[in-house]
Structure 1
Amino acid sequence: MEQIHSRFLRVDWYPAQYTTLSHIKHTNIVIKRKLSPAQLDMFRRTIFGGFIYLNIIFSSGLIHEALLREIVDDREECMTFNIIGSTVTFKKVEFLLVLGLWSPTLIIERTKFVGYRLRDTYFKREGLTLFDLEKEYPECEFANDEDVVKVSLVYYMELTMMGKDKHTSIDSYLFQGTNDLDCFNNMD
Protein backbone atom coordinates (compact mmCIF):
# COMPACT_ATOMS: atom_id res chain seq x y z
CA MET A 1 0.00 0.00 0.00
CA GLU A 2 1.25 3.47 -0.92
CA GLN A 3 2.44 5.51 2.03
CA ILE A 4 0.71 8.84 2.40
CA HIS A 5 2.87 11.81 3.32
CA SER A 6 0.65 14.58 4.61
CA ARG A 7 1.99 18.13 4.58
CA PHE A 8 0.58 18.46 8.09
CA LEU A 9 2.07 16.67 11.05
CA ARG A 10 -0.42 15.29 13.55
CA VAL A 11 0.85 17.81 16.10
CA ASP A 12 -0.24 20.61 13.71
CA TRP A 13 -3.80 19.31 13.31
CA TYR A 14 -6.52 21.53 14.64
CA PRO A 15 -10.00 20.58 15.83
CA ALA A 16 -12.45 20.54 12.94
CA GLN A 17 -15.35 22.92 13.10
CA TYR A 18 -18.55 22.99 11.10
CA THR A 19 -19.54 26.47 10.17
CA THR A 20 -21.85 28.21 7.78
CA LEU A 21 -20.14 30.96 5.92
CA SER A 22 -22.56 33.58 7.04
CA HIS A 23 -20.32 36.23 5.53
CA ILE A 24 -20.98 34.80 2.05
CA LYS A 25 -24.72 34.87 2.65
CA HIS A 26 -24.44 38.34 4.21
CA THR A 27 -22.26 39.63 1.34
CA ASN A 28 -24.76 38.33 -1.21
CA ILE A 29 -27.59 40.08 0.65
CA VAL A 30 -25.66 43.36 0.89
CA ILE A 31 -24.77 43.33 -2.81
CA LYS A 32 -28.32 42.44 -3.88
CA ARG A 33 -29.65 45.33 -1.76
CA LYS A 34 -27.03 47.76 -3.06
CA LEU A 35 -27.39 47.05 -6.77
CA SER A 36 -30.33 48.07 -8.92
CA PRO A 37 -31.79 45.36 -11.19
CA ALA A 38 -29.70 46.66 -14.12
CA GLN A 39 -26.53 46.71 -11.99
CA LEU A 40 -27.27 43.25 -10.64
CA ASP A 41 -27.57 42.02 -14.21
CA MET A 42 -24.14 43.54 -14.94
CA PHE A 43 -22.73 41.82 -11.83
CA ARG A 44 -24.22 38.48 -12.93
CA ARG A 45 -22.10 38.67 -16.08
CA THR A 46 -18.85 38.92 -14.09
CA ILE A 47 -16.65 36.15 -12.78
CA PHE A 48 -18.53 36.04 -9.45
CA GLY A 49 -22.00 36.47 -10.90
CA GLY A 50 -22.75 32.78 -10.63
CA PHE A 51 -22.19 32.84 -6.87
CA ILE A 52 -24.57 35.68 -5.99
CA TYR A 53 -27.64 33.43 -5.71
CA LEU A 54 -25.95 30.42 -4.12
CA ASN A 55 -26.85 29.49 -0.58
CA ILE A 56 -23.46 28.09 0.34
CA ILE A 57 -22.82 26.01 3.42
CA PHE A 58 -19.15 25.55 4.15
CA SER A 59 -17.71 22.71 6.18
CA SER A 60 -14.26 23.54 7.50
CA GLY A 61 -14.16 19.98 8.87
CA LEU A 62 -14.53 18.56 5.37
CA ILE A 63 -11.77 20.84 4.06
CA HIS A 64 -9.60 19.87 7.04
CA GLU A 65 -10.13 16.17 6.33
CA ALA A 66 -9.29 16.66 2.64
CA LEU A 67 -6.09 18.53 3.53
CA LEU A 68 -5.08 15.73 5.89
CA ARG A 69 -5.27 13.37 2.92
CA GLU A 70 -3.10 15.58 0.75
CA ILE A 71 -0.07 13.79 -0.66
CA VAL A 72 3.17 15.72 -1.02
CA ASP A 73 3.57 16.46 -4.72
CA ASP A 74 6.67 18.28 -5.92
CA ARG A 75 4.88 19.64 -8.96
CA GLU A 76 4.20 23.30 -8.28
CA GLU A 77 0.86 23.52 -10.10
CA CYS A 78 -0.69 20.37 -8.60
CA MET A 79 -2.69 19.31 -5.56
CA THR A 80 -2.67 15.55 -4.97
CA PHE A 81 -4.90 13.67 -2.54
CA ASN A 82 -5.49 10.09 -1.43
CA ILE A 83 -9.25 9.67 -1.68
CA ILE A 84 -10.54 6.22 -0.62
CA GLY A 85 -7.26 4.61 -1.68
CA SER A 86 -7.04 6.36 -5.06
CA THR A 87 -4.59 9.11 -5.92
CA VAL A 88 -6.40 12.15 -7.31
CA THR A 89 -4.47 15.08 -8.77
CA PHE A 90 -5.81 18.49 -9.68
CA LYS A 91 -3.76 20.94 -11.68
CA LYS A 92 -4.46 24.62 -11.13
CA VAL A 93 -6.17 24.92 -14.53
CA GLU A 94 -8.48 21.98 -13.80
CA PHE A 95 -9.35 23.31 -10.35
CA LEU A 96 -10.24 26.75 -11.72
CA LEU A 97 -12.26 25.25 -14.57
CA VAL A 98 -14.30 23.08 -12.19
CA LEU A 99 -15.12 26.17 -10.13
CA GLY A 100 -15.94 28.14 -13.27
CA LEU A 101 -13.50 30.88 -12.32
CA TRP A 102 -11.18 30.82 -15.31
CA SER A 103 -10.88 29.54 -18.81
CA PRO A 104 -7.42 28.86 -20.29
CA THR A 105 -8.84 29.30 -23.78
CA LEU A 106 -9.49 33.01 -23.26
CA ILE A 107 -6.35 35.05 -22.67
CA ILE A 108 -6.88 38.76 -22.19
CA GLU A 109 -3.95 41.15 -21.97
CA ARG A 110 -4.01 43.66 -19.14
CA THR A 111 -4.35 47.26 -20.19
CA LYS A 112 -1.86 49.82 -18.96
CA PHE A 113 -1.84 50.82 -15.31
CA VAL A 114 -4.62 53.35 -14.72
CA GLY A 115 -4.15 54.04 -11.02
CA TYR A 116 -6.54 53.51 -8.17
CA ARG A 117 -9.38 55.75 -9.30
CA LEU A 118 -12.11 53.65 -7.68
CA ARG A 119 -10.37 53.49 -4.32
CA ASP A 120 -9.40 57.15 -4.38
CA THR A 121 -12.83 58.35 -5.53
CA TYR A 122 -15.02 56.39 -3.15
CA PHE A 123 -12.80 55.67 -0.16
CA LYS A 124 -10.26 58.53 -0.43
CA ARG A 125 -7.32 56.78 1.24
CA GLU A 126 -4.69 54.11 1.12
CA GLY A 127 -4.70 51.44 3.81
CA LEU A 128 -8.43 50.73 3.51
CA THR A 129 -9.13 47.66 5.64
CA LEU A 130 -11.68 44.94 5.06
CA PHE A 131 -13.54 46.24 8.12
CA ASP A 132 -13.65 49.74 6.55
CA LEU A 133 -14.84 48.40 3.20
CA GLU A 134 -17.58 46.32 4.81
CA LYS A 135 -18.78 49.34 6.79
CA GLU A 136 -18.53 51.98 4.03
CA TYR A 137 -19.59 50.07 0.88
CA PRO A 138 -23.35 49.96 1.66
CA GLU A 139 -23.37 53.75 2.21
CA CYS A 140 -21.30 54.72 -0.86
CA GLU A 141 -22.95 56.86 -3.51
CA PHE A 142 -21.54 55.75 -6.85
CA ALA A 143 -21.30 57.96 -9.93
CA ASN A 144 -22.46 55.28 -12.38
CA ASP A 145 -23.52 51.66 -12.80
CA GLU A 146 -20.09 50.49 -13.92
CA ASP A 147 -18.36 51.90 -10.82
CA VAL A 148 -20.78 50.27 -8.39
CA VAL A 149 -20.35 46.90 -10.12
CA LYS A 150 -16.55 47.21 -10.11
CA VAL A 151 -16.40 48.13 -6.42
CA SER A 152 -18.91 45.32 -5.72
CA LEU A 153 -16.43 42.90 -7.30
CA VAL A 154 -13.68 44.10 -4.96
CA TYR A 155 -16.12 43.83 -2.05
CA TYR A 156 -17.13 40.29 -3.07
CA MET A 157 -13.56 39.17 -3.69
CA GLU A 158 -12.26 40.45 -0.38
CA LEU A 159 -15.20 39.36 1.79
CA THR A 160 -16.08 35.98 0.32
CA MET A 161 -13.17 34.67 -1.69
CA MET A 162 -10.07 35.67 0.24
CA GLY A 163 -11.05 34.86 3.84
CA LYS A 164 -8.88 37.59 5.30
CA ASP A 165 -8.79 39.05 8.77
CA LYS A 166 -11.01 42.15 8.84
CA HIS A 167 -8.13 44.38 9.93
CA THR A 168 -6.07 43.49 6.86
CA SER A 169 -5.67 46.19 4.23
CA ILE A 170 -7.54 45.73 0.96
CA ASP A 171 -5.27 44.85 -1.94
CA SER A 172 -5.28 48.10 -3.94
CA TYR A 173 -4.40 46.07 -7.03
CA LEU A 174 -7.98 44.78 -7.03
CA PHE A 175 -9.32 48.32 -7.40
CA GLN A 176 -6.99 48.85 -10.34
CA GLY A 177 -7.69 45.40 -11.78
CA THR A 178 -11.45 45.92 -12.00
CA ASN A 179 -10.95 48.88 -14.34
CA ASP A 180 -10.58 46.32 -17.13
CA LEU A 181 -13.49 43.91 -16.54
CA ASP A 182 -12.55 41.60 -19.43
CA CYS A 183 -9.12 41.10 -17.91
CA PHE A 184 -10.45 40.88 -14.33
CA ASN A 185 -13.03 38.26 -15.29
CA ASN A 186 -10.30 36.09 -16.80
CA MET A 187 -7.60 36.33 -14.15
CA ASP A 188 -6.53 33.04 -12.65
Structure 2
Amino acid sequence: VANEMNTDVEPLLEIKDLEVAFQSSTGMVPAVRKANLTIYPGQSVAIVGESGSGKSTTAHAIINLLPGSGKIVGGSIKFRGEELTTKSRKEMERIRGRHIGLVPQDPMSNLNPVWKIGFQVREALKANNVVKGSQMHQRVNDLLAEAGLPDTERVAKQYPHEFSGGMRQRALIAIGLAARPELLIADEPTSAL
Protein backbone atom coordinates (compact mmCIF):
# COMPACT_ATOMS: atom_id res chain seq x y z
CA VAL A 1 0.00 0.00 0.00
CA ALA A 2 1.54 3.32 -1.00
CA ASN A 3 0.50 6.95 -1.03
CA GLU A 4 0.55 8.92 -4.29
CA MET A 5 3.89 10.52 -5.17
CA ASN A 6 5.42 12.52 -7.98
CA THR A 7 7.36 9.90 -9.91
CA ASP A 8 9.36 12.53 -11.86
CA VAL A 9 11.97 12.54 -9.10
CA GLU A 10 14.61 9.85 -8.57
CA PRO A 11 13.42 6.99 -6.36
CA LEU A 12 14.78 6.90 -2.83
CA LEU A 13 14.72 3.09 -2.88
CA GLU A 14 14.31 0.78 -5.84
CA ILE A 15 14.20 -3.00 -5.51
CA LYS A 16 14.10 -5.07 -8.68
CA ASP A 17 13.68 -8.84 -8.84
CA LEU A 18 15.15 -9.33 -5.36
CA GLU A 19 15.83 -12.93 -4.43
CA VAL A 20 16.96 -14.01 -0.97
CA ALA A 21 17.70 -17.58 0.13
CA PHE A 22 18.88 -19.34 3.28
CA GLN A 23 21.35 -22.22 3.37
CA SER A 24 19.97 -25.45 4.82
CA SER A 25 21.33 -28.99 5.02
CA THR A 26 19.61 -29.70 1.70
CA GLY A 27 20.81 -26.58 -0.10
CA MET A 28 19.54 -23.05 -0.60
CA VAL A 29 15.92 -22.43 0.42
CA PRO A 30 14.26 -19.44 -1.27
CA ALA A 31 12.76 -16.89 1.14
CA VAL A 32 12.06 -13.98 -1.22
CA ARG A 33 11.39 -14.44 -4.93
CA LYS A 34 11.42 -11.66 -7.52
CA ALA A 35 10.37 -8.86 -5.13
CA ASN A 36 9.93 -5.41 -6.65
CA LEU A 37 9.38 -2.13 -4.83
CA THR A 38 9.93 1.56 -5.54
CA ILE A 39 9.78 4.24 -2.85
CA TYR A 40 10.06 7.95 -3.58
CA PRO A 41 11.20 10.69 -1.17
CA GLY A 42 8.38 11.62 1.22
CA GLN A 43 6.39 8.50 0.42
CA SER A 44 5.05 6.08 3.02
CA VAL A 45 4.77 2.43 1.99
CA ALA A 46 3.37 -0.56 3.85
CA ILE A 47 4.28 -4.10 2.84
CA VAL A 48 1.58 -6.53 3.86
CA GLY A 49 1.57 -10.30 3.72
CA GLU A 50 1.17 -13.51 5.62
CA SER A 51 3.58 -14.56 8.33
CA GLY A 52 6.64 -16.05 6.64
CA SER A 53 6.04 -14.28 3.33
CA GLY A 54 9.41 -12.48 3.38
CA LYS A 55 8.54 -8.99 4.66
CA SER A 56 11.18 -8.94 7.40
CA THR A 57 13.71 -10.71 5.19
CA THR A 58 13.25 -8.04 2.52
CA ALA A 59 13.67 -5.29 5.14
CA HIS A 60 16.90 -6.83 6.41
CA ALA A 61 18.19 -7.43 2.87
CA ILE A 62 17.91 -3.68 2.16
CA ILE A 63 20.44 -2.89 4.90
CA ASN A 64 22.47 -6.08 4.34
CA LEU A 65 21.75 -7.50 7.79
CA LEU A 66 20.26 -10.85 6.89
CA PRO A 67 20.20 -13.30 9.78
CA GLY A 68 22.12 -16.58 9.83
CA SER A 69 22.85 -18.05 6.44
CA GLY A 70 20.63 -15.57 4.58
CA LYS A 71 22.04 -14.36 1.30
CA ILE A 72 20.92 -12.12 -1.54
CA VAL A 73 21.11 -14.44 -4.54
CA GLY A 74 19.61 -12.22 -7.21
CA GLY A 75 18.20 -8.86 -8.13
CA SER A 76 19.05 -5.30 -7.31
CA ILE A 77 18.58 -2.90 -4.38
CA LYS A 78 19.32 0.74 -5.17
CA PHE A 79 19.28 3.60 -2.69
CA ARG A 80 19.36 7.04 -4.34
CA GLY A 81 20.55 5.29 -7.51
CA GLU A 82 23.45 3.48 -5.80
CA GLU A 83 23.52 -0.31 -5.87
CA LEU A 84 23.58 -1.65 -2.30
CA THR A 85 24.05 -5.36 -3.02
CA THR A 86 27.67 -4.84 -4.08
CA LYS A 87 28.68 -2.55 -1.21
CA SER A 88 31.27 -3.73 1.29
CA ARG A 89 30.42 -4.25 4.96
CA LYS A 90 32.22 -0.96 5.79
CA GLU A 91 30.29 0.97 3.13
CA MET A 92 26.99 -0.41 4.43
CA GLU A 93 27.91 0.62 7.99
CA ARG A 94 28.15 4.22 6.73
CA ILE A 95 24.72 3.96 5.09
CA ARG A 96 22.93 2.22 7.97
CA GLY A 97 21.55 4.58 10.59
CA ARG A 98 22.42 7.87 8.92
CA HIS A 99 20.73 7.18 5.58
CA ILE A 100 18.61 4.07 6.22
CA GLY A 101 17.26 3.37 9.70
CA LEU A 102 15.60 0.23 11.00
CA VAL A 103 13.08 -0.27 13.77
CA PRO A 104 13.30 -4.04 14.33
CA GLN A 105 10.35 -6.28 15.07
CA ASP A 106 11.15 -7.78 18.46
CA PRO A 107 11.97 -5.21 21.15
CA MET A 108 12.99 -7.81 23.74
CA SER A 109 15.82 -9.25 21.64
CA ASN A 110 16.90 -5.93 20.12
CA LEU A 111 17.54 -3.94 23.28
CA ASN A 112 20.56 -4.79 25.43
CA PRO A 113 19.16 -5.86 28.83
CA VAL A 114 22.18 -4.58 30.79
CA TRP A 115 22.22 -1.07 29.30
CA LYS A 116 19.87 1.72 30.31
CA ILE A 117 17.56 2.99 27.58
CA GLY A 118 19.17 6.44 27.48
CA PHE A 119 22.60 4.86 26.98
CA GLN A 120 21.30 2.82 24.04
CA VAL A 121 19.85 5.93 22.37
CA ARG A 122 23.15 7.78 23.01
CA GLU A 123 25.07 4.92 21.37
CA ALA A 124 22.93 5.28 18.22
CA LEU A 125 23.66 9.02 18.19
CA LYS A 126 27.40 8.45 18.69
CA ALA A 127 27.60 5.71 16.06
CA ASN A 128 26.20 8.13 13.49
CA ASN A 129 28.09 11.25 14.67
CA VAL A 130 24.80 13.10 15.09
CA VAL A 131 25.50 15.19 18.19
CA LYS A 132 28.28 15.46 20.72
CA GLY A 133 28.90 16.76 24.20
CA SER A 134 26.33 18.90 25.95
CA GLN A 135 23.70 18.46 23.21
CA MET A 136 23.61 14.69 23.69
CA HIS A 137 21.46 14.67 26.83
CA GLN A 138 18.80 16.93 25.31
CA ARG A 139 18.77 14.99 22.03
CA VAL A 140 18.20 11.69 23.89
CA ASN A 141 15.26 13.23 25.74
CA ASP A 142 13.86 14.71 22.52
CA LEU A 143 14.01 11.33 20.74
CA LEU A 144 12.35 9.51 23.63
CA ALA A 145 9.58 12.15 23.68
CA GLU A 146 9.13 11.96 19.88
CA ALA A 147 8.68 8.20 20.22
CA GLY A 148 5.87 8.80 22.71
CA LEU A 149 7.62 8.00 25.98
CA PRO A 150 6.61 10.13 28.98
CA ASP A 151 8.93 11.55 31.65
CA THR A 152 12.03 11.14 29.50
CA GLU A 153 14.48 11.96 32.31
CA ARG A 154 13.24 8.96 34.29
CA VAL A 155 12.76 6.69 31.27
CA ALA A 156 16.35 7.27 30.07
CA LYS A 157 17.65 5.89 33.39
CA GLN A 158 15.60 2.68 33.21
CA TYR A 159 16.52 -0.76 31.88
CA PRO A 160 14.49 -2.57 29.19
CA HIS A 161 13.07 -5.07 31.72
CA GLU A 162 11.44 -2.14 33.53
CA PHE A 163 9.45 -1.27 30.40
CA SER A 164 6.23 -2.72 29.04
CA GLY A 165 6.39 -4.23 25.54
CA GLY A 166 4.96 -1.02 24.10
CA MET A 167 7.53 1.13 25.87
CA ARG A 168 10.36 -1.09 24.59
CA GLN A 169 8.98 -0.72 21.06
CA ARG A 170 8.93 3.07 21.49
CA ALA A 171 12.56 2.97 22.67
CA LEU A 172 13.48 1.14 19.45
CA ILE A 173 11.61 3.78 17.46
CA ALA A 174 13.69 6.48 19.22
CA ILE A 175 16.87 4.60 18.29
CA GLY A 176 15.71 4.20 14.67
CA LEU A 177 15.03 7.94 14.44
CA ALA A 178 18.35 8.92 16.09
CA ALA A 179 20.23 9.86 12.92
CA ARG A 180 17.16 11.25 11.13
CA PRO A 181 17.57 8.74 8.28
CA GLU A 182 16.24 9.49 4.82
CA LEU A 183 14.52 6.09 4.81
CA LEU A 184 13.12 4.48 7.95
CA ILE A 185 12.20 0.80 7.75
CA ALA A 186 9.84 -0.21 10.53
CA ASP A 187 9.30 -3.96 10.87
CA GLU A 188 5.92 -4.38 12.59
CA PRO A 189 6.46 -1.23 14.69
CA THR A 190 3.05 -1.38 16.35
CA SER A 191 3.06 -5.09 17.27
CA ALA A 192 3.89 -4.38 20.94
CA LEU A 193 2.01 -1.07 21.26
**TM-score, with structure 2 as normaliser:** 0.24
Which structure shows the higher strand fraction?
2
Higher relative contact order (CA 8 A, sep 6+): 1
TM-score, with structure 1 as normaliser: 0.24
